[in-house]
Every structure is written in C-alpha cells, then in structure tokens.
Homo-oligomer: A and B are copies of this chain.
Amino acid sequence: MHRATPTIPVLAALLAALLVATHAPRLRADEGMWTLDNLPLARLKERYGFTPTPDWIEHLQKASVSFGGGSGAFVSANGLVLTNHHVALGQLQKVSTPDHDYVRDGFFARTGAEEMKCPDLELRVLISTANVTDQVRHAVDPKATGAAQTAQRRAATAAIEKESSQSTGLQSRVVELYKGGEYWLYRYRKYTDVRLVMAPEQSIAFFGGDPDNFSYPRHDLDFAFFRIYDKGEPVHPDFWFHWNAAGPSDSELVFVSGNPGQTNRQLTVSQLEFQRDTQRAIRIAAQEHRLAALRAYAARGPEQSRRALDRIFGLENNLKRERAFLEVLRDPAVMEAKRKDEEALRARVAKDAKLAALYGNAWDHIAAAEREQARRFREYSYRDVDRGARLVTIANDIVRLTTEVEKPNEQRFQEYRDSNLESLRFQLFSKAPVFPDLDAVTLETQLADALAALGPKDPWVKLALGDRTPAQVAEDLTAHTRLTDVAFRQELVTGGSQAVAASDDPLIVWARKLDPSYRELRAWHEDAITSVESLEGARIAGARFALDGKSVYPDATGTLRLSYGRVAGYDQLLTRVPWKTTFLGLYDRAKSFDNQPPFAIPDRVAAARPKLDLDTPLDFVTTDDIIGGNSGSPVLNRKLEYVGLIFDGNTQSFAWNFAYDDQQARAVAVHSAAILEALKNIYGMDALASELTQAPPRP
C-alpha cells in the first residue's frame, strides 16, 4: 500500500548529526552488541553500577537459545523455550493443513501429549567459545596471493571445526569477528526434537500488520512457546531464566541476549557506496516483484493465501527495512559523516609510519574490490535462483551436496563441510509440505527478472529458459519434479553424484545444467570480493586494535551477543512517546481503526476484554542495541529474570544498521506481565503460566 516516505530523512538527519568524526572510537550511551568474552565492564559499572560475575555470564549464555535467524531462551526447568510468534511462523505454517490453520487460529497444547513436533526446527545452545585467531593466522602465508590466503584460511577453519566436532560431539563453527580481525571457535549443543506448545493467533501476535511493523507505540503479543525434547522426554536445561511477573520499570537497566544477524557499522565508505548505488536497489526491485506475484497467488483463494502467508510476511518485512536502509544511505549527510569518520581513522594510521606500512592501503584495496563487485553484480544477483522456491533450493542442494562431499572437507563450500552436514540433511529431508504451484510463482518472477535484466542473449538466461517463457519453465519444472517426495531426495543423496548425474528428474537436470555458472560466479565473488573484504577488513581491524585496543565490539555476525540499556520512552514529532503501552491501548487502536484489518483483533481477544486487567503493560521499549536476528531475545533484569521478549525495533532503529544512537531509536519488547495475563485470561493456559512462574527447582 501507499506509504508516506518523509520519515526516513528524519532518521538519516539524526544519524548524520551523531556521526561526527572523532579521533578515537567513542561509544554512545548504551551502544554495543558485545561478545561474552569482551563485555564493557567499565561502562556497565560507571553507568549502572553493575558488574556481571562469571556465573552470571555463564547463566546468560547457556539459557539463551539460537533459532537460526532468530533468538530465544529457556524459561523453565522442563525445556520450555520462548521466542517470537514471527520466529515460530514458518513452523506454524508447516504444521498447518487446509483443515487446521494454526497461524490464523493459534495453537494450544494443554497437555504434553498435545505438544506437536516441528518438522525441521533445529535449536542450538552455545556451550563454549575459544579464540583461534592465532591458529588461523599461522596457517596463512601473508606473502601468498589473496586467493591462496583465502584457501589457506578456509582449510584451517575447516580443520578446526572438524577436529572440534569430532572431539566434543558439539556442532562447531569458526566465526570471523571484527571483519577478519579475530577468529573464534563456537561450539553448540543442537536440539532437533522441538515441539510446539502454544502460539496465539497471528492477528494479535502481529497486530497492526505491515503498517505497525518497525513502529512504536505497539500492541503485539508476538510470542510462541516451544519445548525441547530429548529421547521423547522434555530436556532439563542446566540454566533457564526465571519469570519476573512484574516486569521492568521505567529507566531500569535491562539486558538482551541473542543473535543479531548483520550490521554495517564498520564497513568502509566504498562498501556503503556499493550498497547505496548498486546492491540495495536491485534487491528491492526483485523483492517487490516477488511480493506482487505472491499477493496475486494468495488472492486466488483461502488455501493459497494460507500457503503464501509466511513468504508475504517475510517479504513485506524485508522490503520495509531495505527501503529504509537505502533512504539512510542516500542521505548525503550520512555518507559525509561516514567519510569524515573514515578519513579521521586513516589520518591516524598515516601519522604512524609502521601502521601506515601495515594497514595504510587497506581501504583502497576494498574500494577496488567494490568496483569489481559493481561490475558483475547484476549477473551475480539475477542468475541466483537459490533463494525463493523451496523445490529449487532442494534441487540445488542435492546437486551440490553430492559433488562437494566427494572433495576433501576443507575444499568444500562452507555449508557442505562435515560439521554442517547433519543440519543440512535435517532441512533437506524435512517432511514439511512443499507447494509446487507456489514455488512456480516464485521461480517465474526470478526468471522473468533475469530475462528482463540480462536480456535473452545472456548465456545463463539461454540455458535456464531454452526457447520457453519464464512461466512455462517454472510451471513445467515444479509440476513434474519428484522432489516433493522426501524418499526420492534421500535416494538421490544416497546415490551420490552418480545418481544425480543419471537422474532424469526435470528439476535435477535443470539444476545440473546451471551449476557450472553458479560455481563460476561464486568463485569470482569469494575470490575477488569477500576474500578481499575479509583480508583487508582484518587489516583495518588491526589498525583499530593497534590504535585503541579492543575497546569496541564487532559488527553483528549472527552469533551470541549481549546488549545492555535502559527502559526509556523518547521524544518524537514534538511530543513524547511512553516507555510502555497497555491492553487499553490495544483495544483503543483496534477501535480507532473501526476494527478493520490489520487492526482487527481475534474473537478470543475481543471476548476476553471484560476479564482482563486492561492496565497491564503490553509492550515496552529499551535502548538496548539490537538488529534483525534478535527477534525472540529475552529482556533480562540484573538478576537475570525474564522481564520481556524482544520482537522489533522502532522506525528510528533502522539507523542502527549503520550506527547506534539512543535519542529516538529503540528496541521493542513484549512485557512479561502481558504474556502472563494473556496466558491466564485470554487463552486459559493456566498450567503454562504456572510453569513459568512456579518453576520447579533444578533437577
């Protein structure tokens, strides 16, 4: 729908005002997504008089649960895990059927027997971390070419991962922090028997829909409960967060733990310019096209609408964010401020002959890589049909997996390394339903985009389409492939590259045909772009460490981080925004829009109004530094009690992708009292409420 756009200049202007060139990195207020090995102890003590103990840190780490692209936490001794409804949405959709729409109607298991197994949800808990920077560095010959260094580094990290997973039985991943400044080994305990316990109706979890998304004041009950099982019994985690039913108060210090996905705060100006001038506009156009196609598909009927819902939701969410990011990048003042910051850092490096020799030209090397990236980015982007249609992803995975596993572990693409195979197979062989007609719509728009952008003479386009139209190809491939059948997938994977080469499944044939082009472009991108960004990013990080020590946090990497901040309202549009909303505000907003979607409340919530304490806090905001991936993060008080559930940032927090400030930007959470009130007085889930508040002692 039509949206007013003039808000973004506000946050861009705001951001620009804050990005003043400084001679040393000065953190703002509650800034930072901190790794647990390097918490900002001095700042925490100075601002809040608080010092976390090693026990506190271990508790926080091991009660936090990773949902892949999202976050969550243990909230009972019996393996109960709380996250956002929108993190659970994919699973809710996968367990729904035409007869049982758990997305629309909610899901309520009133006994353990009613808890429903998720088809392909894998949860992880971070068990330990170790700095392996030296090990990785020693394996790399700094005099070798860039590509050789990258291969050496990959071999080293693959070996570290493999050795670790073999010796500990834990999923092991090497994480690059500080844009290559450090390498850390993260070890996870993995859980694959995860069952759905309770989720409210999507219309209350996502009340306000796309308009209210990334907005505040907010009135959402965006929560869902899972339970982790092991050998058919609920697990008993060593650590979980006790429920605080009163929730936080205004100005209180609160912590957020979770897995922020990606920030762009330490990118160079040339990297930001590449995003601004090339990357983001292409992404936005492709997503807009796909969204329009999915909406048309959903309009065909209620069952199509149900099938497409989570993809539409995801695209709307992404588009709102991507458009905002592009607006921020297009503000000349923002880029000017970033430029000044970079110039200040480079000037400090240039002043010291040793630093200058070691790091002085890193920025220029990255700028050259960005020029190269811009040169081929259209091809790289439009020839990628990996993300989108589920069946295409399955076909590509099967073609690549069977080829890659025949190589030595350290030479494989990262996602096919031994340490990742178990998770990959879990996804690949998931019994979650696949909808060929839905996939056809997605694949068709991707092919149509490629045709339009690259032209009919492009070799990839010729290979992908032959003499047919995008619609014919997409329709044909998705309708005739047998990959909807999990047994057929298993058969191919078991048969290995020979079976794949011999297969006449049309989608496998098609994926095989396009694989060389994919490999060529991926090699180009890894060697010419990401390797350079990583190598040179590590040099810039080296310069920063040399000048300022490790006083900063790394850009987000999808791994566990701790943020801290305070509960706080803010000033906006010449008035004040409160630190919390209440159930009164929920019913008000529904009524203010005459209960029209997306501001219509579900029947259960409407009916419960007389029973509810309407003064109960519903959502609230904090200055904790978060970004996408923090969805489902617990908000914790000093005692590590559960006081809230992060589910969004406000409009102004879009700027946090590029720099933190706490003037207006806020993280948005569901209040712990609201979840309890809803469980008891809307949904009659008293046992679940009791499990939260009367957690039995640790077994």
A residues with CB within 8 A of B: 2-4, 6-7, 9-11, 13-14, 208, 211-212, 214-215, 217, 250, 320, 324, 569-576, 578-582, 584-585, 587-589, 591-594, 599, 614-615, 651, 663-664
On whether the beta carbons of A573 and B575 are closer than 8 Å, the reply is no
Partner of A574, one of B13, B569, B588, B651: B651
Once bound together, how far apart are the Cα atoms of A397 and B582, in whole Å? 54
* Chain B hits for A573, CB < 8 A: 4, 7, 10, 215, 572-573, 651
Once bound together, how far apart are the Cα atoms of A581 and B590, in whole Å? 10
Distance (whole angstroms) from the CB of A337 to the closest CB of chain B: 15
On whether the beta carbons of A572 and B663 are closer than 8 Å, the reply is no
On whether the beta carbons of B4 and A571 are closer than 8 Å, the reply is yes
* Chain B hits for A4, CB < 8 A: 570-574, 663-664
Once bound together, how far apart are the Cα atoms of A211 and B574, in whole Å? 7
29 contacts between A and B (CB under 8 A): A2-B571, A4-B663, A4-B664, A6-B664, A7-B10, A7-B572, A7-B573, A211-B574, A212-B576, A214-B574, A250-B594, A573-B573, A574-B651, A578-B592, A579-B592, A580-B592, A581-B588, A581-B592, A582-B588, A582-B592, A584-B584, A584-B585, A584-B588, A584-B614, A585-B585, A585-B588, A585-B592, A587-B615, A588-B588
Once bound together, how far apart are the Cα atoms of A238 and B518, in whole Å? 84
Once bound together, how far apart are the Cα atoms of A320 and B6, in whole Å? 21
Once bound together, how far apart are the Cα atoms of A226 and B6, in whole Å? 42
Partner of A3, one of B2, B571, B651: B571
Given contacts A573-B215, A573-B573, A574-B214, contact A584 B587 (CB under 8 A): yes
Distance (whole angstroms) from the CB of A69 to the closest CB of chain B: 22
Partner of A13, one of B9, B11, B571, B663: B9
* Chain B hits for A589, CB < 8 A: 578, 585
Partner of A6, one of B13, B579, B651: B13
- A10's nearest neighbour on chain B, judged by CB, is B6
Once bound together, how far apart are the Cα atoms of A450 and B242, in whole Å? 64
A sample of 12 more A-B contacts (CB under 8 A), given A578-B599, A581-B588, is: A6-B10, A6-B13, A10-B10, A211-B571, A211-B574, A215-B573, A572-B573, A578-B589, A582-B591, A584-B614, A585-B585, A588-B588
- A7's nearest neighbour on chain B, judged by CB, is B573
On whether the beta carbons of B215 and A574 are closer than 8 Å, the reply is yes
On whether the beta carbons of B574 and A591 are closer than 8 Å, the reply is no
Given contacts A4-B663, A13-B6, A211-B576, contact A591 B615 (CB under 8 A): yes
Once bound together, how far apart are the Cα atoms of A615 and B13, in whole Å? 39
Once bound together, how far apart are the Cα atoms of A6 and B663, in whole Å? 11
